Amino acid sequence: MKCKPRIYYTDEQKALMWERWRKGESLQHIAQLFGRSHGAIQGILIRTGGISPAPRCRSRLALSISEREEISRSLVAGASLRAIATSLGRAPSTISREIKRNGGKTRYRASQADKHAWDRARRPKRCKLVENPALASIVADKLQLEWAPEQIAGWLKHTYPGVKDQQVSHETIYRSLYIQARGALKKELVEHLRRTRVMRRSRHHTQKTEDHGRIVDAVSISDRPAAAEDRAVPGHWEGDLLCGSHNSQIITLVERQTRYVMLVKVARKDTESVVNALIQHAMKLPQELYKSLTWDRGSELADHKRFKLATDIQVFFCDPRNPWQRGSNENTNGLLRQYFPKGLDLSNYSQGQLDAVANRLNERPRKTLGYDSPAQRFYQCVASTS
């Protein structure tokens, strides 16, 4: 696969990123402005923990570019340092240091001197918690007790009224956590926040946008063939993700007519990983026994068109907030909780272990099947197609 060329963003482009981020726009929307993935934009914003860096400005006491140009012209004309200082209204020592740190009288150039001065002025501002380790220790202890930064700041103000050295704002605490270059609080303390995200979001951020959670070009369950609806023929499946701890999950698939269960191991819940796993699994079944797949509105199947293109299997989606429309799968997920209780790390299970659990379910007699097992009914279908 051909890689996109590396882009070096200008200061104006970065300013646009930060402006959109402060307004609460998602990484995906910002990335679309530059034709890049959201990860490329996150890489820039995360350097300062999602907190917009303060705009840089020159000190009113620093030499300006026009003053440096006057110094350069006066040196060429042979003027003395004291004469240059007098004409600019500056101290002779200021002019002397300026010339010495930028190559001396014979090599002094105004534009280069101005650029070097701007670069040298980039110094990180020392954080209050760095200057006061005792206060930083108190804040860290309270964070470990799951106190929110705003609670800590309020408690300090209430406990030490009038003692500014023992008070700190909640914004400073957040900045010390998310901007690790400050060196005040350890990054691990982020795990004790209510939201353990890796960078700060805008207060204007919301997921309730017009296109959030929407599956593009989704085919509604109302368009599913009648043969699938009344379970008249085999080959129509329902699917979902069964989630465990540590962001682990497995794919659960149930055939509507026979209630036959198949479990598929998946490393992550992003749409690329899920669709890849579904494509590989679909290749194991004859086409007569895999005609359609009904899924909930989860974003893990946002790339459903690639699945259909690779397998020729049509995907149908439930109506929003109506997971009961794939009732066979919902019921099966409830049965699977006997083997995979909530809070279990599902990433520890191999595909072989998942197959063994599926076999246990498939060999159970089911009342809805006249006490046949799903395995009996499904293998009858396999035999009829061979």
Check residue 107 and give its pLDDT: 92
Give me the helices (H) in the chain, please: 11-22, 27-34, 38-45, 65-76, 81-88, 92-100, 110-120, 128-131, 133-144, 149-159, 170-178, 226-229, 271-282, 304-311, 327-336, 351-362, 374-385
Confidence bin at 104 (pLDDT 50/70/90): very high
Please report the pLDDT score of residue 242 as a whole number: 93
User: Can you tell me the distance from the alpha carbon of 119 to that of 262, in angstroms, rounded to the nearest whole number?
Assistant: 61
Whether residue 347 has pLDDT greater than 70: yes
Most confident among 140-149, 177-186, 275-284 (mean pLDDT): 275-284
Kindly report the average pLDDT of the chain as a whole number: 86
Q: Which of the given ranges, 43-47, 160-164, 261-265, has the highest pLDDT on average?
A: 261-265
pLDDT band at 282 (very low <50, low <70, confident <90, very high): very high
Q: Reply yes or no on whether the pLDDT at 3 is more than 60.
A: no
- Give yes or no for residue 206 having a pLDDT over 70: no
Is the Cα torsion angle 172, 175, 177, 181 positive or negative in sign?
negative
Calculate ∠ Cα 153-159-165, nearest 5°: 65
pTM of the model: 0.49
Per-residue tokens: 136: 């930083």
Determine the pLDDT at residue 56: 77
The DSSP annotation for 214-275 comes to PPTTPPBGGGS-HHHHTT-SS-EEEEEEEE-STT-EEEEEEETTT--EEEEE-S--SHHHHH
Cα–Cα dist 333/54, whole Å: 50
pLDDT score of 196 more than 80: no
How far is 52 from 71, CA to CA, in rounded Å? Answer: 36
Is the predicted pLDDT of residue 1 greater than 50, yes or no? no
**3 state DSSP class of 47:** helix
Can you spell out the DSSP letters for 119-156?
HHT--PPPPHHHH-HHHHHHHHHHHHTT--HHHHHHHH
198-201: long-range pairs with CB below 8 Å, 24+: 198/46, 198/49, 199/42, 199/45, 199/46, 199/49, 199/50, 199/51, 200/49, 200/50, 200/51, 200/174, 201/24, 201/50
267 to each of 66, 330, 351, how far by Cα in Å?
60, 22, 11
Using one digit for the tens of pLDDT, what is the confidence trace for 111-144? 999 999 888 887 666 788 888 889 989 988 888 8
Residue predicted with more confidence, 5 or 88: 88
